[in-house]
Amino acid sequence: MSKFLTRRRMIQGAMAAAASGAAAALAKRYDLIPPDYGGLFGAGETLTYAAQRALLHRGPLAREFRRDQISVNFPAINTVFPADLDYRRQMANDFEDWMLDVGGLVERPSLFLLEELKRFPSRTQITEHICEQGWSAIAEWTGVPLSLVLDVVGIRPEAKYVMFYSVDGWWDSLDMFDALHPQTLLAYGMNGGDLPVRHGAPVRLRVERQLGYKSLKFLSRIDVTDRLDDIEDGTGAVGAAYGYSWYAGI
């Protein structure tokens, strides 16, 4: 290898290190290190996350649409009907005895029936779902803002993330910014009716500022926590095993 090339490589390496060092310093200062920072794209993930959080610190809303813009066909992908036997029994009973378990770092761990979630003030929003697999669709979602449920159970000051589990074995997490975002819903309604099974009945998450895979369907349990590294494989989300970023901001 020529001296010139070696030197160029060294400069490139130093520049990359400086860039990721700056991102890391910024991220550390503001506590903006995503749980998957250690992987192949670690420095990039940290930079994206820190930059988006810096830009979005006032919490702007994702774009909302008009009724006449709602998609006629909204695809349903991956799990469309969970195999779980308890789930199927609850479904046969119109989810009357389905319950959402909310616990972890909260003052009052609670179980919520569907009808109890429906008694909270609701929010309806028409938004665009963007799937990482290259399609998008617009729908109207109705549900209770997650922040209202977290207010009722009382999150402890040390809480930093909210973990979500679903009946089909998915799990994922949000930081408090997205968990408390006004458009983050526990949605039980879609396009004016009940949330259909293929779209995650009885209750799914809507996370409008991130890609579709963060909007977990078929919710079963919510767990408030101060760390993700000791949960499951420590990456914060089931998708990390398939190469999906924990933070999927759009």
| Binding-site ranges for ligand MTE (CB under 6 A) | 75-79, 131, 166, 168, 170, 199-200, 212-213, 215-218
Whose tokens are 């319950």? That residue is: 99
The residue (of 181 and 214) whose beta carbon lies closer to ligand MTE is 214
Supply the minimum distance, in Å, between the C-beta of residue 50 and Mo ion. Answer: 24
In the stretch 211-250, what mask flags binding to Mo ion with x, by CB under 5 A? -xx-------------------------------------
Find the length of the chain: 250
Instruction: Please say which residue, 77 or 83, places its beta carbon nearer to ligand MTE.
Output: 77
Question: Binding partner of residue 126 among ligand MTE, Mo ion, none, CB under 5 to 8 Å per kind?
Answer: none
Look at residue 53 and give the partner it binds from Mo ion, ligand MTE, none, a contact being a CB closer than 5 to 8 Å depending on partner kind.
Answer: none
For 85-194, where are the alpha helices, taking DSSP H only? 85-92, 114-119, 146-153, 176-179
Q: Identify any residues that bridge with 190 across adjacent strands, giving them in sequence order.
A: 141, 193
3-state SS assignment for residue 161: strand
* Burial zone of 25 (CB within 10 Å; 0-12 exposed, 13-18 middle, 19+ buried): exposed
Q: Name the residue number minimizing CB distance to Mo ion.
A: 131
- Of 56, 57, 50, give the one whose Cα is nearest residue 20: 50
Binding mask 155-194 for Mo ion (x = CB under 5 A): ----------------------------------------
Q: Is 113 in the site for Mo ion (CB under 5 A)?
A: no
Handedness of CA 146, 52, 140, 193 (dihedral sign): negative
- C-beta of 35 vs 212, nearer to Mo ion: 212
Distance CA 180, CA 162 (A): 10
Helices and strands in the chain, H and E counts: 6, 10
The nearer residue to ligand MTE, 6 or 78, going by C-beta atoms, is 78
- Residue placing its CB nearer to ligand MTE in the complex, 64 or 84: 84
Positions in the binding site for Mo ion (CB under 5 A): 131, 212-213
